[in-house]
Structure 1
């Protein structure tokens, strides 16, 4: 499920600390993510993931409405998904049936689906939906649990924007446009970021907020090590641009050893 400054209703689940997408948010998600669903944006993502999957199966954590999973299935990769929100899956089901792309309702940090996968992936900043370090570690362990030996876990995540936050400033703007105003407030002690959205809806602005736990690339590498995964690659984008000090996001790949320690 794509999370680029996500717009959601704050409902809580007993099995996860992720905030849950409600019906209204799910129904408008595709319309609000037309740019991220465009062929120009998706092509390098699909190329990257299809190459890693090879002739194996892929599992998408937080598959949402199928922005990535459905076209990846169209590339010939057998895809399965895990998704917490039944409302998001209801939108996905209007596009593709359960037999073609099976989705299990559940928490990406703990839900287990049958079989082994060549690829598990989690895109569009969605690991930040898990609001504690423990939950994020469980997510890595769950990915490792599903991977066959030699399989890969891929995460797409923004680099925390703390370099844009000078002393005394509490918010960082990330979008100022005719239809949408967005800014983040950041708790640097708890590593929590709150995205605030003011979206034009007719003659009014709709306000939404969402909470996220940001994590540094090195912190994710340690989570991977705890889960028994080895770092393989880190890029600045899906096209494979080298990751650098000024990169605003990263695509990270970890590999399950062929002869690794028990998970």
Structure 2
């Protein structure tokens, strides 16, 4: 979409993000991340795309030395308004740069809720992997939660789905699929008594094997791939968790 940038989604959706994603319970993600942090090298932890702090705040509450990056000031403001959110250092910037504003090396870098796909080109995704690898301590991990692309759901490379229906509103998600660019461009469309609200979103998806190649180019090794935060077997569908490791 024209004029869509790294900050667009957050700037336009921050006020409704938590409401629209209320079903994404971060408890399992926090538990698994804490276990991975304890198994890795000592050092601070960096979250890419902290958003409104749905994972950031409960993870920091576990005593983790956590830093963050996000492109949207509106999302970070939402995080800082929550209890504990104002104590987490966050830098505004493009997560592909992996620039926390310090020279720190990290025991772990992670990005959840499919947000890695908000990097809109393959070059940006490769650059993110490369910069993560440079920031990791030997033995450090890069953890990603991503969806397996479900391109079969699109007829004529488009879809309209109903996400919520109430007495005075309906929320639709409309998407155009670009199979060549591996892109989804769409809108959350909220229709209610007050009118119509559009919330744009664009993503550049990548297949698990493509992510593995990006990791290899950056000098990272595949350590784990699970079908979720309970470390269940990966079956090639739905959300999955991948752990890459920098050789010691």
Q: TM-score, normalised by structure 1?
A: 0.83
Measure the CA separation in 2 of the matches of 1:141 and 1:156: 18
Alignment of structure 1 residues 58-69 onto 2, 5 Å = 58-69=45-56
CA distance in 1 between counterparts of 2:235 and 2:85 reads 41
The equivalent of 1:252 in structure 2 is 242
Q: Which residue of 1 aligns with 2:187?
A: 196
Q: Which residue of 2 aligns with 1:87?
A: 74
Q: 2:231 aligns to what?
A: 240
Deviations 1:144-203 (A, max 9, x none): 12211101001111111113335xx22245544313222432110111111332224445
- Give the Cα–Cα distance (whole angstroms) in 2 for the partners of residues 189 and 157 of structure 1: 20
- Does residue 33 (structure 1) correspond to residue 21 (structure 2)? The answer is yes
Q: In the alignment, which residue of structure 1 is the partner of 2:131? A: 142
Compared with structure 1, are the counterparts of its residues 186 and 164 closer, same or farther at alpha carbon in structure 2 (3 Å cutoff)? same
Is the contact between residue 109 and residue 142 of structure 2 (CA under 8 Å) also seen in structure 1? yes
More divergent stretch after superposition (249-258 vs 54-63): 54-63
Query: Which stretch of structure 1 is more off in the superposition, 77-86 or 196-205?
Result: 196-205
Over 3 Å counting, the alpha-carbon distance change for 1:31 and 1:134 in structure 2 is same
Counterpart residue number, 1:220 = 211
Aligned match of 2:145? 156
Instruction: Verify the 8 A CA contact 1:124 1:157 in the aligned structure 2.
Output: yes
- Is 1:57 matched up with 2:44? yes
CA drift of 1:239 comes to: 1.2
Q: For structure 1, list consecutive stretches of 5 or more residues without a partner in the other structure.
A: 1-8, 259-263
Which ranges of structure 2 fall in alignment gaps of 5 or more residues?
none
User: Take 2:162 and 2:141, find their aligned partners in 1: how far apart are those partners?
Assistant: 33
Q: Which structure features the higher share of helix residues? A: 2
Of 33, 41, 46, the residue aligned with 2:30 is: 46
Structure 2 residue matching 1:77: 3-state secondary structure:
coil
